[in-house]
Structures are given as C-alpha cells and as structure tokens.
C-alpha cells in the first residue's frame, strides 16, 4: 500500500489529542506552503470545512476558499458557509452563485448517471474558472480523508479527491486530514471551534438534492425537496433524533397523485421520507420512526410545502434499495 497512516499517529478521540494534531498540522502547513496562496473548494461538508479552518489558522488570508452554490444544496447551507467562514472566521471566501448555470444544464435530463455527470463536470468547470481569475495560487487544499485513500487503492471507488484533476487545477496538494478517519475529523473540527451543525452534519451526496429529485429536475419540484427536507430535519431535531439517526432526507419523484386541498381536487407530487442507520453504508437498516412523529411530519409537509399532497415512508433496507434514489 503506497500511502499508509503513520504508526506514530494516535487515534484522535480527545480534545487534547485534537489540539496536538492541530498544532502539528499548522507547523507542517506553514513549512509546506510558506507565504504562497492555497485554493480550496469549500462545500460546507465536514472534511472541507475542517481543512478550511485548519488552513485559516495556519496561513490566514493566503487561503482562498471558493464556495460554489450549484442550487442543489440544502436549505440554509450556503448561508451557513458564508456566516461561519466569512463572518466568524474571517476567511478569504469567494461565493459563486452558479444556480442558474447548473439548473439550465440539467433541464430536461432524466438519466441519473447523466445528471451526476453534468453536476460533477460543471462543478470542476466553475471551480477552474474561479481559479483562473486568481493570481499566485500555488497549492490546492483538499479534504481527502483516510477512507478515501483506502477505497481508491482497493479499487472500490475512484474518489474525486484522489487524483484525476484537470490540468488547469494541477497544483501541488495540501491534504492535512488525509490520515484521519471521519470520527477523528469531527473531533478536530470541534477543537477548531466549528459549530456542531457543521461538524456532525449527516452525509450529503456531492450531486446534492439533484439525486433526491428523481427524473428531470424542475425548479418547483427541487424547491419542494428542499422545503420538505428542512421540515424533516427540524422535526428530527425536535424529537431528539438528529444526532442518532445516521441519515434522513426526503425525495420528491416526478410523479403526481390525486388528493384534496381546501375542498378541491389537488393533483400533486408525493414526498418520500427516508431515514436509515448503518455503520459501513454497505448495509443499512430503516429507522423505526414513531407513528406520532410521522403524522406530524406528514401534516407539516402536506400543509407547508406547495405541490405536495401525500407523504410516504420508505421501509426498504439496503440491500435491496440503495440509500439514495438515483
Ligand atoms: P447509496 O445510494 O450508494 O449511498 O447507497 C451510500 C452513501 O453515499 C452517499 N452518496 C454519495 N456521496 N457523492 C458523495 O459524496 C455521491 O455522488 C454520492 N452518492 C451517494 C449517500 O448519501 C449515502 O450516504
């Protein structure tokens, strides 16, 4: 194996160990990049957020963060990235509103693989365009973590963080958390002072809400996914399930059924709620969500989200189903 976790690196499971790791990394980053500029795609996910916070501590405004809003993020996420990094940590942050660009390209595209491909390609294009506008970038920081390296080496998945960048982004890499497991990255994130909402964020796919809006994405149905997801998250939080259930979200397929709203026929979408638990994501079980909670969620989604008249719960484990719908 080419890239192994150093034997001297202790398992980081306490604040003190995280602080020692942070100090070591700050020194290592300063040594590696000196007074040169470093570029980072900051998605708001745990890994890139922790890398950003570490680099801000090490090199301040010589870190240039680019946050691309592709229109497929959850409610409040772009705002949270700007608030935490720009306002609170004083990051040199470029916010790119690429919503129209992505949604126009995705209009009418129904094939799931094609949708994923468009989102991935366009993301790199937008990011490369922003990089080209900047002078003096010498390094590219990435939130590669140890499982990414292991999975790439074992041929399980060609992770976007390990190799394969276009020539215009062919900078030397800065990967300060590449030997850490996810739980260690979270401990380091907390020690860096990042909010729990960011550090304990549930997994979220790169193509975002795009894969939770099966069929051709339309702006109104995408909004229905975003709003129903926000309600689900709120209700899970209130019920004390937020930190306990591994992943939960809503899906709004391109399918309508007959219903009644305000005494009139309402031919509207249905919304599927999915909540799963797992340790390795290879196999997942379904969270046995309580009847009262499900009724509350159903009531809120059908009354607060325009275009939805029906809510269903997905009882399918993985396998046979995957976590995401596309
Ligand atoms: P599936 O649907 O394959 O999902 O059972 C397993 C886990 O991976 C997440 N997922 C992704 N994460 N980019 C990501 O970074 C992706 O394209 C992607 N697709 C699925 C999914 O949310 C679940 O946690």
Q: Rounded mean pLDDT of 7-14?
A: 95
Ligand 1 atom closest to 116 (CA) = 17
Structure tokens at 74: 């959850």
Tell me how far the alpha carbon of residue 204 lies from the centroid of ligand 1, in angstroms: 7
Chain segment 102-124, per-residue pLDDT in tens? 999 999 999 999 999 999 999 99
Q: Name the residue among 265, 270, 255 with its Cα closest to residue 302.
A: 270
| For ligand 1, atom 22: residue with the closest CA | 205
Q: Which of 314, 323, 325 to mutate to test the pocket of ligand 1 (most atoms within 8 A of CB)?
A: 323
| Cα R_g (the chain), whole angstroms | 21
Q: Which of 44, 203, 319 to mutate to test the pocket of ligand 1 (most atoms within 8 A of CB)?
A: 203
Q: Is 322 in the pocket of ligand 1 (CB under 6 A)?
A: yes
Residue 158 has pLDDT above 70, yes or no: no
Q: Which distant-in-sequence residues (6+ apart) come within 8 Å of 5 by Cβ?
A: 146, 179
Chain segment 208-236, per-residue pLDDT in tens? 999 999 999 999 999 999 999 999 999 99
Q: Is 323 in the pocket of ligand 1 (CB under 6 A)?
A: yes
pLDDT band at 157 (very low <50, low <70, confident <90, very high): low
Structure tokens at 33: 């990049």
Q: Name the residue among 133, 263, 289 with its Cα closest to residue 298.
A: 289
Q: What is the pLDDT of the chain when averaged over all its residues?
A: 95
Burial class (CB in 10 A: 0-12, 13-18, 19+), 77: buried
- On whether the CB atoms of residues 275 and 286 are closer than 8 A, the answer is yes
Tell me how far the alpha carbon of residue 118 lies from the centroid of ligand 1, in angstroms: 16
Residue 199 has pLDDT above 80, yes or no: yes
Tell me how far the alpha carbon of residue 281 lies from the centroid of ligand 1, in angstroms: 9
| For ligand 1, atom 12: residue with the closest CA | 205
| Beta-bridge partners for 267 | 258
Q: Rounded mean pLDDT of 16-30?
A: 98
Q: Is 207 in the pocket of ligand 1 (CB under 6 A)?
A: yes
Q: Is 78 in the pocket of ligand 1 (CB under 6 A)?
A: no
d(CA 37, CA 94): 14
Q: Both ends of the chain: CA-CA distance in Å?
A: 33
Q: Which residues of 238-275 are buried (b: 16+ CB within 10 A; e: fewer)?
A: ebebbeeebbbbbbbbeeeeebeeeeeebebbbbbbbb
pLDDT, residue 159, reads 55
Q: Which distant-in-sequence residues (6+ apart) come within 8 Å of 295 by Cβ?
A: none
Residue 164 has pLDDT above 80, yes or no: no
Tell me how far the alpha carbon of residue 206 lies from the centroid of ligand 1, in angstroms: 8
Residue 315 has pLDDT above 90, yes or no: yes
Quick count: other Cβ atoms within 10 Å of Cβ 11? 12
Q: Is 206 in the pocket of ligand 1 (CB under 6 A)?
A: yes
Q: Which of 158, 211, 324, 325 to mutate to test the pocket of ligand 1 (most atoms within 8 A of CB)?
A: 324
Residue 1 has pLDDT above 90, yes or no: no
Q: Is 259 in the pocket of ligand 1 (CB under 6 A)?
A: no
pLDDT, residue 156, reads 64
The angle formed by the CA atoms of residues 227, 231 and 233, to the nearest 5 degrees, is 115
| For ligand 1, atom 10: residue with the closest CA | 205
Q: What is the reported pTM? A: 0.93
d(CA 250, CA 270): 10
pLDDT band at 267 (very low <50, low <70, confident <90, very high): very high
pLDDT, residue 154, reads 76
d(CA 41, CA 132): 14
Ligand 1 atom closest to 318 (CA) = 5
Q: Is 205 in the pocket of ligand 1 (CB under 6 A)?
A: yes
pLDDT band at 167 (very low <50, low <70, confident <90, very high): confident
Q: Is 120 in the pocket of ligand 1 (CB under 6 A)?
A: no
Chain segment 54-67, per-residue pLDDT in tens? 999 999 999 999 99
């Amino acid at each position: 194996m080419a890239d192994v976790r150093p034997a001297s690196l202790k398992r980081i499971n306490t604040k003190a160990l995280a602080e020692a790791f942070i100090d070591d990394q700050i020194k290592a980053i300063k040594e590696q990049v000196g007074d040169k500029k470093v570029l980072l795609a900051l998605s708001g996910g745990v890994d890139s957020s922790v890398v950003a916070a570490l680099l801000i501590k090490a090199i301040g405004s010589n870190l240039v963060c680019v946050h691309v809003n592709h229109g497929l993020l959850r409610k409040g996420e772009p705002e949270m990235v700007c608030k935490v990094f720009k306002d609170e940590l004083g990051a040199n942050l470029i916010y790119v509103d690429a919503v129209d660009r992505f949604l126009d390209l995705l209009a009418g595209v129904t094939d799931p693989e094609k949708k994923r491909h468009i989102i991935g390609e366009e993301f790199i294009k937008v990011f490369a365009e922003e990089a080209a506008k900047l002078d003096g970038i010498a390094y590219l920081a990435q939130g590669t973590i140890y499982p990414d390296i292991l999975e790439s080496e074992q041929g399980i998945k060609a992770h976007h963080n390990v190799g394969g960048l276009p020539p215009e982004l062919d900078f030397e890499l800065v990967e300060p958390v590449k030997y850490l497991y996810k739980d260690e990255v979270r401990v380091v994130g907390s020690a860096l002072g990042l909010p729990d909402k960011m550090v304990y964020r549930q997994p979220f796919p790169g193509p975002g809400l795009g894969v939770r809006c099966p069929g051709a994405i339309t702006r109104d149905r995408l909004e229905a996914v975003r709003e129903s997801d926000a309600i689900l998250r709120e209700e899970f939080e209130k019920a004390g399930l937020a930190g306990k259930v591994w992943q939960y979200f809503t899906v709004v397929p391109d399918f309508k059924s007959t219903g009644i709203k305000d005494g009139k026929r309402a031919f509207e979408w249905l919304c599927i709620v999915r909540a799963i638990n797992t340790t390795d994501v290879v196999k997942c079980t379904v969270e046995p969500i309580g009847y009262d909670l499900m009724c509350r969620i159903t009531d809120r989604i059908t009354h607060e989200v325009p275009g939805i008249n029906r809510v269903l719960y997905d009882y399918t484990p993985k396998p046979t189903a995957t976590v995401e719908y596309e």
